[in-house]
Every structure is written in C-alpha cells, then in structure tokens.
Chains A and B, each alone.
Chain A
Amino acid sequence: MSSNPLPSNTSRLGGCTLTGALSVTTSVSDSISIVHGPKGCSHHNFSLLHTIALENNRLNLPSVYSSGLLESEIIFGGEAALERAIAACASSSPKCIFVLSTCVAETIGDDVFSVCSMDWGVPVIPVPTAGFLGGAFQNGVLNALSTLSDGVSPGSPDGTVNIIGEKNLEFEVEENYTEVLRLLSALGLSVNLRFIHQISYDEIPQLARASFNVLRDKEVVPLGDHLKARFGMPYLESFPVGLAGTLRFLEMAADTCGVSYHAAVQDERAVQEELLADFSDLSGARIVLPPDGVSAGDGAVIREVVTALGMKIADSGLCVPMPLSPPVGTSGIRRMLHRWRRMIRA
C-alpha cells in the first residue's frame, strides 16, 4: 500500500495492477484480453487505452472483453462466467487470450489458473492482477511482461537489441522509442523486438534472440534481472535521460556489445550543441518548478538543462510544464524546451 496518502502521490505513483497489465497485453495486436470481473473494471480501462491509442493514431479499438460478473456470480462463484467469456473469445480465433483477474474474483477465490488450463484451442494465459493484493500499476506491467517472457525458450544472441517495458500509456511512447532507435542506429545497432509494444503473438519468441536489453526505466529492473538470469542478456537499466546521460547511454550501449562509440558520441555532442544554440534565447529566463514537485530524476535533468542554457530557477514567478517522466534523450529535451519557450513567451 502507498504509505503516503497525498493525492499527488496516489494518483501519480499508485494506479491499478489491472491497468498496468492491460497496457501490456492489449499491445499484443492479435490477442484478446479478458478482464474477469465486473464490467466497470474493463470499461474505464478500455476508455483509457482507447484515448491513448487515438492520441498515437491507432484507430483500432482495444481488444478488451469482460466476463461481466454480477452479484449472483460473486455469491455462487464466477468460474462459469469466465468459461463463457473464454469460449466467446476463442470462437473469434485470436492468436492468444489473456485472462486478467480482478479484486472481487480473487476475493471469492475463483480458480482462474485452472479454468485457463482447460483445452481452449488457443493459448489462454492467466495474468494475476488483483489490485488489492498490494501492487500498483507498475506491478501489473511487470506481471504481464514476466508471464509472457516465461513462455519463451532460450535462443542464440545475434547482436540486436530488445526494448523492454515501454510505457505504452505515455503520450510520447513513439517519440521516445524513435529517439532510442536513433541513438542505437548511430552505433550500428538494430532493434530486435519491442517487448511489448504493438507486436503480434508470434513475434514474442524472438525475445530470446537479442544480445542485450534496454529497459524503459529503473522500474523495469526486476524484469531485466529475470531476463538476464534466464537468457544471459545484460541490460541497460533506463532509456537515456539528460544531456550527459544521453552521451553516457551511447557509451554503455557500445560497451555492452563491444563496438566503438567515439564517432557516435562526437556526433551526438554536436546535436546537443545545436540544440542549446537553438534555445539560446532562453538564457537569463527565470522559471519555477511545479508546486507538486519533480522526481529526483527529473530534477537532475532540469538543473542540467537550466545551467547549460544560463537560465535560473526561482522561488516565485513563471511555472513551466514538466513531463510526467524525465525527457528521453536529446530529442526529449528539445520537446520540453519548446514547451517552456511557449510558456515563457506567452
């Protein structure tokens, strides 16, 4: 449970395990995710997923199906309702079906695993997601990712890179991926698999082929360790953050697969100098950080950028918008500075 009940904490850092897991499973494009619970549990998640999909120009509806538990199922048991839901979904021949449990299904003790293990003609994969068991959004993400990775057999590394645990619900998910791809390409590296972002079920076994993993951020480290233990894959624990951090990312990625980074770092330094020159008009501007604070990671990036541009952090005055998670790479900083400039000039 969150020990700090302030709204800013619970709303930013809490979240429901179910939502986290759905953000992963619905990103397997040819699957259906069954939410085994009352309709409301799937409805607001569906709305959220749909909104994010539209924002990222994906027009297909999220593939979410509810077992639609009502009071009678709570009293008499919900396993039959789950069987009906799986049968209905299986009849449309998806590549696989995910079954995500909810608080009330776990409370009354429905045996979701045993229902899923029946012969349904398609893989039916249970993901434990009852929110009341203490986890939050990120636990749901990790539960879903590790459940999916557990079905993958070891392979032989081919020099490529996996992207692990992208934040599928962040508006900039594609921009952030593109930035990492740009940096890896500068080192001559290519991406093997986005695990899991808009891939098909048949692509999942490719996970084992890559030589190393780039995790979205430190919250994914438990999975990074798990994959390291299973497939012997080293990992970088976060997408690049900050000016110096982006250069360091290039060095670490290059070291991990034994290629040279000097040219790439030199080029990126030039890109960053160009960035600072583009925003030199902000020199001397005074900004205020948002009143609900910034995370430690954010704070370091903000101070680095403010210092590099000759800006000042003040106690009162103009409050600039801050991204929910630290800006990714040099391009992320550019987008953030664009927003600051609009605010400062407005």
Chain B
Amino acid sequence: MMKQIALYGKGGIGKSTTSANLSAALSFKGLNVLQIGCDPKRDSTRMLMHGSFIPTVMDLVRERGDTAVGLEDVVYTGFNGVRCVEAGGPEPGVGCAGRGIIATFQLLEKFGALSGDVIVYDVLGDVVCGGFAMPMREGYAQEIYLVTSGELMSLYAANNICKAIRRLSQRKKSTCRLAGVICNAKNQPREEELVGEFARRVNSALVQFIPHDRVVQLAELHKQTVIEYAPDSAQAERYRTLASKVMENVTFTIPTPLEIDELESLALEYL
C-alpha cells in the first residue's frame, strides 16, 4: 500500500533538507519515492536534483495552459531514482498560492502521478489557508510529521499545525493524523528533552532528533543531500534511522494543541 506522508513546520526550520534526505534514504530501501514540494519558493527538491530548479507545475500551466502540460513535463527523476515535483505558484505578491496548490494536486491526480511506494509532501511554513491544507485532505497524506527546533517560535508554528490537523481529522472519512515530531535541532541546551516533552503534550512522540551538523551545509554547498555527499557520516545514519522509523511507524494520533501560555511555560522549564 502506498504510504503518503507530509512534513510541515516553520519557514526555514529545515523541512526541505529533512524531506530530501528522508526521500533519499527511503530510496535506498528499494522504495519508489515521489517528493512533492508544495511551496511557491520551489526549492524543496533542489538537492535531489543536484542544484537545479526544476520547472514547476504552475510555471508550466502559466506558460502553456493546463491542457498542454503532461506527466513527463512535471515529474523529474533525481538522485537515486527519487521522482521530484515542484508545485510552484504565482509571482510573490499576486494571485492565490493556496489555489495553486489545489490546482497542482488536481493536475497530478489527472496524470496519475500520485503513485509509488512513498509520497513525501514538503509543505510551506504554516497552514495559512485551505489550499495549504490540501495535502492533509482525504486521499492524500495520512501521516503528518512536524519539523521543529526547540526555539519557541518554531514550536509555536508546530502547535498551530496541530490545530489544523485536529480540525481536519474531525471531518468525516478523514484519515489525516499526526505521526510524530522531528527535531531539527539548533543545538540549544536540553533541546531534545524540550521537543520530546512538547511532542508528548500534543499527544504525539519525538520520532527523531537530528542535531545541528556542519555536514548539512557542506552537502548543500555541493548541491547534494547528506545521504549522497557523506553517506558514511553520523548525520546520514540519522536520516536513514528516520526513514526506517517512518516506515515502521503505526502510532498516528489526533493532536491536542497547547494554549500559548502553556507553550511559553513549557519553553521556560527547559531554559
């Protein structure tokens, strides 16, 4: 059965890095992986594509009209066979990016592109509107992973996403659940404990702690995932562990988001 997972989290927290390394690690398990970048910034799959920005679905639709766009125009094969799609969106400051995500999904459905063993949806910073909740809707990602550091603003964003998951999970036939929290650390003191406790309080669990490691930057400068650039590094091993845990995970919950004062006092406890 096809597994569909989505990574959500604050802008700049490392969703794309985590997604790309996760996809790469999954591909080495012999799995057919599709990664879909759901952000107008379009840089989700760049490390899998060795630094090139692939044409986005929305760019192609804008240039040619949706009838003249086909499956082969939007799906690009990257590192180790990982298939890559970028949704793209309007120019910054105009139009409706959320509707762009919905249109992209409809087009991918039409092409039958949503196939393989695992689909990884890499979604922008926050669930700003209905369009960006599209990956959580029925038929798409059933398992949502939150990517966060131990910084308060990052936890705050993760908590907001919990609200969206709770809301959507209450819909009839909804299969969208919180699958766990990934700590992409900033190497703050007691960060793993803090994020672990946050995960527990929102009725979930910390699935993987990924410490800050310079090899991530080095890999990026070489336009590669860590899995490709430094396969023997400890960081690569952590991504492989994450991939195994994601495949084995069977604990999916309806989250219990925190009030802001709870969140703040939680952060204070782990100063």
- A109–B93 CA distance with the chains assembled, in angstroms: 9
Q: Is A319 an interface residue (CB 8 A)?
A: no
Partner of A77, one of B66, B94, B103: B94
Contact status of A75 and B89, CB under 8 A, knowing A107-B96, A108-B96 = yes
Most interface-central of B62, B65, B99 (chain A CB within 10 A): B99
Main secondary structure of the interface of A (DSSP, over half): helix
Chain B residues near A72 (CB-CB < 8 A): 61-62, 65-66
- A76–B99 CA distance with the chains assembled, in angstroms: 9
Q: Is B202 an interface residue (CB 8 A)?
A: no
Q: Is B150 an interface residue (CB 8 A)?
A: no
Q: Size range of the interface on A?
A: 10 to 19
Chain B residues near A107 (CB-CB < 8 A): 96
- A75–B103 CA distance with the chains assembled, in angstroms: 8
- A79–B95 CA distance with the chains assembled, in angstroms: 9
Interface string of B85-124 (1 = CB under 8 A from A): 0000111001111011001000000000000000000000
Shortest CB-to-CB span from B237 to chain A, Å, is: 41
Q: Is A74 an interface residue (CB 8 A)?
A: yes
Chain A residues near B94 (CB-CB < 8 A): 76-77, 79, 108-110
Chain B residues near A119 (CB-CB < 8 A): none
Shortest CB-to-CB span from A199 to chain B, Å, is: 37
Shortest CB-to-CB span from B42 to chain A, Å, is: 14
Q: Is A202 an interface residue (CB 8 A)?
A: no
Q: Is B199 an interface residue (CB 8 A)?
A: no
Shortest CB-to-CB span from A79 to chain B, Å, is: 7
- Nearest-neighbor residue (CB-CB) of B96 within chain A: A108
Chain B residues near A78 (CB-CB < 8 A): 95
Interface string of A191-210 (1 = CB under 8 A from B): 00000000000000000000
- A107–B131 CA distance with the chains assembled, in angstroms: 13
Q: Is B58 an interface residue (CB 8 A)?
A: yes
A108–B95 CB distance below 8 A: yes
Chain A residues near B96 (CB-CB < 8 A): 74-75, 107-108
A window 253-269: CB within 8 A of B: none
A75–B91 CB distance below 8 A: no
Q: Is A315 an interface residue (CB 8 A)?
A: no
- A74–B100 CA distance with the chains assembled, in angstroms: 8
- A109–B95 CA distance with the chains assembled, in angstroms: 7
- Nearest-neighbor residue (CB-CB) of B62 within chain A: A76
Binding site for A on B (CB under 8 A): 58, 61-62, 65-66, 89-91, 94-97, 99-100, 103
Binding site for B on A (CB under 8 A): 71-79, 107-110
Can you report 9 A-B residue pairs in the complex whose CB atoms are below 8 A from each other? Answer: A71-B103, A72-B61, A72-B62, A75-B89, A75-B95, A76-B91, A76-B95, A77-B94, A108-B96
